[in-house]
Amino acid sequence: MTPTPTRTLALLEKIFVAGVFIIICVFGVSFSLRPNWVRPFISKKENTVKNHTDALQRLFRGHHPDCKTFENHRMIYQNKTWCAGCLGLLIGCLLSIFLMILYVVDSQQPPTISRLLFCLGLLLIALVYLEIIRESRHSIIHVLSNALLVLSFFFITTSIVELSGKVEYGLYTILLCILWLDTRIQLSRWRHRRLCSSCLQSCKIYEATIIFGR
């Protein structure tokens, strides 16, 4: 008895899933450039303790405190300081948008390729999580790992769409990718708090941001 062939998505269905993915990537680009731009729209509270602690007076460079502890979390390119993680997400989002457009225009993936890309995507997510929590790191590696994280979302989403042939599975996968990204953010915050608590300086800015609800 031969297996039932997988249903192939129509072009409009593929465009719909790709469009949702691209919109998420566009938001990712905006957050990588200005991480807190949405905060005024969701938080009505004013920080009444601003300028009353050493923590809140600490300058930021590349989305991180301007101290030696976080030197490996940023990089300087053409006299501009970049957050290594955000730069990686920016690169990954732009590449994923480009590849998703090619995916819509190009023919469908063979099932074997889709399975390989699915496994590769899961492996990349695991490696990125390990890179975030490891003790020593380099800013270039951090850029690369964050770029690969978004590319892994592209691999997994297109693979699920091709293997299932269903729009709803593609949308569920995109939602799962958002949750994976949130896990990466939470791991990064945990890493920042750990570095901050072990630092000998008194500002303790990441501990302060929890206390003051920032």
Question: Looking at the domain assignment, is residue 183 inside a domain?
Answer: yes
Question: Looking at the domain assignment, is residue 1 inside a domain?
Answer: no
> Are β-strands 64-65 and 60-61 bridged in parallel, bridged antiparallel, or unpaired?
antiparallel
User: How many Cβ atoms sit within 10 Å of the Cβ of residue 111?
Assistant: 13
Residue with tokens 């979390």: 73
8 Å CB contact between 162 and 179: no
pLDDT tens digits, 110-156 = 899 999 999 999 999 999 988 877 766 677 888 898 899 999 999 99
Rounded-to-integer distance, Cα 133 and Cα 144, Å:
15
Nearest to 111 by CA among 159, 56, 178: 159
Question: Looking at the domain assignment, is residue 61 inside a domain?
Answer: yes
**Higher-pLDDT residue of 12, 48:** 12
Strands (E), 42-152: 60-61, 64-65, 74-77, 80-83
- State the pLDDT at residue 110: 87
User: How many Cβ atoms sit within 10 Å of the Cβ of residue 194?
Assistant: 13
Q: Which pair of structure tokens corresponds to residue 167? A: 């729009």
Look up the pTM and report it. 0.78
Tell me, rounded to whole angstroms, the distance of Cα 22 from its chain centroid: 14
* Domain limits for position 133: 11-36+55-211
Question: Looking at the domain assignment, is residue 74 inside a domain?
Answer: yes
Number of domains in the chain: 1
- Is 80 exceeded by the pLDDT of residue 64? no
